[in-house]
Chains A and B, each alone.
Chain A
Amino acid sequence: MPKGEIAKRQFVRFSRLQRTLHICMIVSFMCLALTGLTLKFSYTKWAAVLSHLLGGFENAGYIHRSAAVIMFGVFITHLVDLYKLKKREHSSWFSLILGPGSMVPNRRDLTELVGTLKWFVGRGERPAYGRWTYWEKFDYFAVFWGIAVIGSTGLTLWFPVFFTRFIPGSFLNVATIIHSDEALLATGFIFTVHFFNTHLRPEKFPMDITVFTGRMPLEELERDKPREYEALVAAGQLEEKMEEAYQPIVIRTIRAFAWAALTVGFFIVLWIIYAMLFSYR
């Protein structure tokens, strides 16, 4: 394969830390979703079976709280990483937020959203997306929102005796509703909209493993993130962002993991739908 050498060099989209954090996030999220939903849908037979498989409710509780700790860890690590990024590449927070690689939505995202909707209905060309599309930014901040809402209420429910020194006991009831419904939103959104947008949409089907390998083929970058590609080419920085692809065995392992995550997510969605439709109370 004469072209192999070149072809196997791929564009690096995610750092090693970012990839690790995403994997940790997946693991903890799945654990939280499974254990949490058994409690939310405790009135379904599935919940009892699952709770039993997880080693009883008490065990499920330990898993849930351990996973929560991991999730907090992921969140804090990311914040630290952001801080380091700012120190390394940006003169100020302002620059980080408004810079070209920023996750913060801006005016261009609005334009791209409008453009995308036009493209959907055949009223225009596909917008030339940059490093982060608006739906990726939405997913990113959805996690921020989720961690804030679910995390805070979760902590309250974890340490009710402590928190009722400051808030009335009935707030625990409120916290329960917020925690569980927000979690339902998070799982429902991740396992349907996020899954589709990132993995299941026909041109990517069945999955996009960029977030695990950190690498994407150059053509894909050119096609999906044309603005970033052009900017990198113009700046002559493309070559320094290229690295060798992983060995097939690594890819296979990653795929197996991703498949597992997708499957679990898929079944959770089915379970949620079943519980909501047939036995909601």
Chain B
Amino acid sequence: MAETKVARSKWPAGLRIIVATLLATAFFLLVSEYRARAADPPGAECLACHGDKTMTTTRAGKTVSLYVDGKKFATSVHGSFGCTGCHADLEGKDFPHETPAPVKCGTCHSTEQEQHDRSLHGKAIARGDALAPHCVNCHGNHDIVPVKDPRSAVAPLKVPFVCGQCHREGTAVSRNREIAQNNILENYSESIHGEALLKKGLAVAPNCATCHTAHLILPHTDPASSINRRNIAATCTKCHSQIETVHRKIIRGELWEKRANVLPACPDCHQPHKVRNVFYEQGMANADCMRCHANEKLRRARDGQSMYVSVGEVSHSRHNKIACSQCHSEVNASHVRPCETITHGVDCSSCHDEIGKQYVASIHGQLNGKNDPNAPTCKECHGTHGILGKQDPQSATFATNVPGLCARCHREGQKAAVRYTGTQHEIITNYTESIHGTLLKNGLTVTATCTSCHTAHQILPRTDPASSVNANNVPDTCGRCHHGIEEQFENSIHAKRVSGFSKPLPVCNDCHTAHAIHRTDENSFRLNVMATCGRCHEKIAETYFDTYHGKVSKLGYTKAAKCYDCHGAHDVLAVTDPRSHLSRANVAGTCGKCHAGATRRFAGYLTHATHHDPRKYPFLFYTFWGMTALLLVTFVVGGAHTLLWLPRAFQMRQELRAAEAKFAAEFGTPASNDKSNSKESPDA
């Protein structure tokens, strides 16, 4: 603006343009000259010789070009450092200088150098391996540009080729060094990762360095390796961070990292370098296992146990989509026999984590923890390769099969029953004949089986407070099905909450038994309930048998009122409680259930009265003894009369016989003829 003001005032327009152009050009030249002069000192001197494309030397009999592209060097990331920035040993040397020492990148790149030294590449160099790669083999020398520059030799898209220089078929490395994998570059390029990177140009797709790291490349056997079994999950989840949510909910990512030994590692299924988003037919796949295990004669050398696996059985099982190696983890794909590295049995809890925890806490798991040979593990109940879901009627854990399953050990005489010291015997027989067992036999799968009460995996002895069949938990356990009953029970005098008793109160099984549960309208239950209640209510149950209801019950009459007909069953309350069936307001109605038209006065009948208690029932006591006295007097008098009579009666009998004999002697006819109507002949 200042320029235009000046021009307008004094110079003609054309001159002004010429002068401005000249000035601008002079300025530009000045600047560029300055820049040229400033860049000149670091390399110009060297490039005077090395800028000649024909400059060569002979090393070990080979002609080596000593040409350095000055332009490329100048634009490289190291361009500003000059030649002696790296070739420090040539600083101040006279020309022609000696062969320079190898460049030490680690002088600046100490971290990378340190990693490289620890890596298998670095160790190979230390060993003097001529094939070992140095920095320049990957990064180049005078033309190094930042990694993010697409021209970089180690730009993501180029990494496979950089590595592939050595790691592809036919190279000296692949021929002369032991590399576990084959066709690495080809496989990678066909994998989902390679496809994304190389064919679709997706620079974030993993290249070799993403998994193997750039500098700290270690064999997978090294615990520090990014591809070691222990670390591979962490490596993969750098990208696949949410894999467990899309993979299988119960496999938690943390398990992969924390307990990698119990889980198949990523590459067990997803072959390294060949990963596809489909399931794999090769490597750790079932087909590989079945090459040996399909043989029916296959036996374990150690103990001769059959190692045969039926393909048909697996294919019909619930785990038919699960690969062998997912359960039989610890397999190592790099071995000819991948299974030879297996040291542990199948751990189902690696997937069924919650159930596994329950099992470990259960009595079965506790025994297993003590290495008890009787302890059942998962497979004892669920089977192995042919495992089926509990909804499958063929499954051993299907409701109708559960009692038979538990019976294998818990039937009388079997290993669990033998070691059992409690009160429950003939468990299986009793259950089978019980109402639950009968219903199950009739095909009602929702009825209670063993696991309904004892749980499937949290089985604990009833003495354990955490047990589902502990006395404190029984109402809840039964109440899961019999909810209405539980509600009544929890409001009854038998509930601790209501009575506040500290002594043990009855729960469901105390009256209904644990395994021999029968319908309560069955005769056996109705007739035994007095003995049941009598276990605690000793006296009142005894005096019940002194009155009508009790006496006829004793004779097997089921219709007469039993304890719970009057007191209520699950809603039993103290008779003083207004809500009780026997309260002042309710008693007549309760009696009226059987005795139509019963009144309050009728209910005055003493159903537990005894005539042996003069204080509680004086009028019964005295009535009884009054009657007894009457009996005694009558029998004593009558008896004495009879006894006194006896001698005379015998005397009369003798006289009578004598008379008859005399009569017969006189008339020649037995007198008995005359008396035949009244008694048998004594002579007969």
Binding site for B on A (CB under 8 A): 1, 3-4, 7, 10, 38-40, 42-43, 47-48, 51-52, 56-58, 60, 117, 119-121, 126, 135, 157, 160-161, 164-165, 167-170, 172-174, 176-178, 181-182, 184-185, 188-189, 192-193, 196-197, 201-210, 213, 215-217, 219-220, 245-246, 248, 251, 281
The interface residues of chain A lying within 8 Å CB-to-CB of B606 are: 169-170, 173
> Within the complex, which residue of B546, B551, B557, B673 is in contact with A4, where a contact is CB–CB below 8 Å?
B673
The interface residues of chain A lying within 8 Å CB-to-CB of B602 are: 160-161, 164, 169
Q: How far is the CA of A126 from the CA of B649 in the complex (A)?
A: 11
Q: Are B620 and A177 in contact (CB under 8 A)?
A: yes
Q: Are B673 and A7 in contact (CB under 8 A)?
A: yes
Q: Are A202 and B639 in contact (CB under 8 A)?
A: no
- Which residues B633-684 have CB closer than 8 A to chain A? 634-635, 638-639, 641-642, 644-650, 652-653, 656, 667, 669, 673-680
Q: Are A39 and B555 in contact (CB under 8 A)?
A: yes
Q: Are A170 and B604 in contact (CB under 8 A)?
A: yes
Q: Are B619 and A1 in contact (CB under 8 A)?
A: no
The secondary structure that dominates the A interface is helix
- Which residues B554-573 have CB closer than 8 A to chain A? 554-557, 559
The interface residues of chain A lying within 8 Å CB-to-CB of B647 are: 120
Q: Are B555 and A42 in contact (CB under 8 A)?
A: yes
Binding site for A on B (CB under 8 A): 545-548, 550-552, 554-557, 559, 595-599, 601-606, 609, 611, 617, 619-620, 623-624, 627-628, 630-631, 634-635, 638-639, 641-642, 644-650, 652-653, 656, 667, 669, 673-680
Q: Are B650 and A202 in contact (CB under 8 A)?
A: yes
Q: Are B548 and A126 in contact (CB under 8 A)?
A: no
Task: Determine which residue in A40, A117, A161 has the highest number of CB atoms from chain B within 10 A of its CB, and name it.
Answer: A161
Tell me the smallest distance from the CB of A122 to a CB of chain B, in Å. 8
Q: Are B674 and A177 in contact (CB under 8 A)?
A: no
Task: Determine which residue in A43, A184, A215 has the highest number of CB atoms from chain B within 10 A of its CB, and name it.
Answer: A43
Q: Are A58 and B624 in contact (CB under 8 A)?
A: no
Q: How far is the CA of A189 from the CA of B669 in the complex (A)?
A: 39
Closest to A174 in B: B623
Closest to A57 in B: B557
Tell me the smallest distance from the CB of B593 to a CB of chain A, in Å. 13
Q: List 8 A-B contacts (CB under 8 A).
A: A4-B673, A39-B551, A47-B554, A56-B556, A176-B547, A177-B627, A181-B630, A246-B677
Tell me the smallest distance from the CB of B647 to a CB of chain A, in Å. 8
Q: Known interface pairs A47-B555, A202-B652, A216-B678. Does A192 touch B638 (Cβ–Cβ under 8 Å)?
A: yes
Q: Are B605 and A169 in contact (CB under 8 A)?
A: yes
Q: Are A193 and B620 in contact (CB under 8 A)?
A: no
If A51-B556, A201-B646 are given as contacts, then 13 extra A-B residue pairs at C-beta distance below 8 Å, sorted by A number, are A1-B669, A42-B550, A42-B551, A161-B602, A168-B601, A170-B606, A192-B642, A197-B642, A202-B646, A202-B652, A204-B679, A215-B677, A245-B676
Q: Are A210 and B678 in contact (CB under 8 A)?
A: yes
The interface residues of chain B lying within 8 Å CB-to-CB of A182 are: 627
Q: How far is the CA of A201 from the CA of B651 in the complex (A)?
A: 11
Tell me the smallest distance from the CB of B191 to a CB of chain A, in Å. 86
The interface residues of chain B lying within 8 Å CB-to-CB of A167 are: 601
Q: Shortest 6 CB-CB distances between A and B: which pairs?
A: A169-B604, A181-B627, A57-B557, A193-B638, A169-B605, A42-B551
Tell me the smallest distance from the CB of B118 to a CB of chain A, in Å. 94
Q: Are B648 and A38 in contact (CB under 8 A)?
A: no
